[in-house]
Amino acid sequence: MQNINSLRILWLLVGMMFSVPAFAEKLIVKDHVTLREGPSRSANILGYPVIGTVFDLLDDGQQVRGYFHVIGPDGRRGWVYHRYVRRETSDIEALATRPTTAVHFIDVDQGNAALIEFPCAAILIDAGGRGDIASDHLIAYLDAFFARRTDLGKRLATIFVTHTHVDHNSNLRRISERYKVGGYVHNGLLNGSGRVGANWMRDFTAAASPLLANLAVQNPMIEAAGNQGVANETIDAVKCANVDPGIRVLSGGFVDNPGWPDGEFDNGNNHSLVIRIDFGEASFLFTGDLEETAIETLIDRYAGTAMLDVDIYEVGHHGSHNGTTKPLLDAMTPEIAVISMGHEEPQLPWAAWAYGHPRRDVVTLLAAAVSRTRSPAVSVRVGDKVKRFFGFSLTRSIYATGWDGDVTVNADTQGIRSVKTGE
Ligand SMILES: [Zn+2]
């Protein structure tokens, strides 16, 4: 009781201190931005403020067509587009009510299925998994999710499938028949191990009434977007009243060989969608099963931009030796990494054990790159080749569905809040 009373008093004091908010709102430039005379892309250019410039926010922070009215440290007034600036406030009530997001890395054994929960919507990246147990777990997880988030009306705004392999799309049909789906985004290739699901989904979207958005993201579309990634209304379909998450595809199916060896071009993994999500200051990157050759192409494309710089990295290709490179991690500077892979048991083909996932070399690279600590430290199992595993002591914020079960990363518009495991 005494503790509760002390807490109440503390809250009262905090309330008194902040009940008159010192509303000093700032905008900090986080990306290359143009300062313009008016709230329009055609307005005269006043300058190019460097990253880190701090503006004071004018007009109570009201946006006009996505632009903020600001005054700079040099006293100059102008307009900047919201995407390239970060809003900071000293109002404690605003901190307590910041919009939140959660990324649920669902344990589907050897495969991938990540549910991204927004304040007003949810999307799914991949609908895979190995076997009936994983499939039933995925459905049970989604059922429980929608039972909690009744406001979403059992609707996934978009399903992204990174590539047409069965460990990424085996549950497409089951999910699409059970829940409402707003759109389907994929890499346009139908010839992988997941072709049955991909073909079924193609017909399903075509027959849907009202018509279900079906978008193949391929290299010409990525090229046309310059080095910003593609973010059209099908890909970036979520906009909530209090936050507009940014969803963009940075790499897709390659129609022509970009100069890779033939074997690399024929490898469906290299055609994976790469998806970046921005939720205010929190950012997430999903690279599907992209392998080294395509990772190099990705890094080259976004060199000199902050497009690959994220807080949370879903580790490529289930922690395989070829799914993560040091240059990629250097571009990302991740705070947290999550691996979607199977458990060491069962010792069967098409299981993590048979692939030796995750690889010790990759977990070692991650441990050197991930900035947050994992506390308490845990002992996990990693492979150095197929079917051979070792103990590994983990002190960094690296999580894996094969070690931890379901992993949920909670964030708000200022960054990561917490990680929850083993539900
Ligand atoms: Zn895979």
Q: Per mean pLDDT, which range of 15-29, 163-177, 267-281, 375-389 is the poorest?
A: 15-29
Query: What per-residue confidence (pLDDT) applies to 256?
Result: 95
- State how beta strands 158-160 and 122-125 pair: parallel
* DSSP annotation of 7: H
In angstroms, the CA 46 to CA 30 distance is 18
Number of H helices, E strands in the chain: 13, 25
Position 13 pLDDT exceeds 60 = no
Work out the average pLDDT over 387-401.
96
Work out the average pLDDT over 283-289.
98
In angstroms, the CA 39 to CA 269 distance is 42
Q: Ligand 1 center to residue 393 CA distance, Å?
A: 25
Q: Ligand 1 center to residue 385 CA distance, Å?
A: 17
Q: Answer yes or no: are the C-beta atoms of 229 and 109 closer than 8 Å.
A: no
Q: What percent of the chain has pLDDT over 70?
A: 92
207-229 pLDDT per residue, tens? 998 889 999 999 999 999 999 99
In angstroms, the CA 299 to CA 297 distance is 6
Q: Return the amino acid letter for 403.
A: W
Work out the average pLDDT over 77-99.
79
Position 53 pLDDT exceeds 90 = no
Residue of 145, 147, 148, 169 whose CA lies nearest to 159: 169
Q: Quick one: CA dihedral 56, 59, 60, 63, positive or negative?
A: negative
Q: Which residues keep their CB under 5 angstroms from ion ligand 1?
A: 167, 289
- Name all domains of the chain by residue range, CATH numbers in brackets: 17-95 (2.30.30.40), 100-421 (3.60.15.10)
In angstroms, the CA 337 to CA 334 distance is 7
Query: What per-residue confidence (pLDDT) applies to 92?
Result: 61
Position 6 pLDDT exceeds 70 = no
Work out the average pLDDT over 187-210.
95
Contacts of 131 (CB under 8 A, 6+ apart): 109
Distance of CA 410 to the CA centre of its chain: 12
Q: Ligand 1 center to residue 314 CA distance, Å?
A: 12
Q: Which residue's entry shows tokens 């979520």?
A: 238
Query: What per-residue confidence (pLDDT) applies to 87?
Result: 80
3-state secondary structure of 274: strand
Q: Ligand 1 center to residue 131 CA distance, Å?
A: 14
Work out the average pLDDT over 162-167.
97
Structure tokens at 117: 């929960």
pTM, full prediction: 0.79
Position 20 pLDDT exceeds 90 = no
Q: Ligand 1 center to residue 161 CA distance, Å?
A: 11
Confidence of residue 338 (pLDDT cuts 50, 70, 90): very high
Query: What per-residue confidence (pLDDT) applies to 134?
Result: 97
Length in residues, the chain: 423
Position 1 pLDDT exceeds 50 = no
Q: Ligand 1 center to residue 63 CA distance, Å?
A: 41
Confidence of residue 206 (pLDDT cuts 50, 70, 90): very high
In angstroms, the CA 418 to CA 298 distance is 29
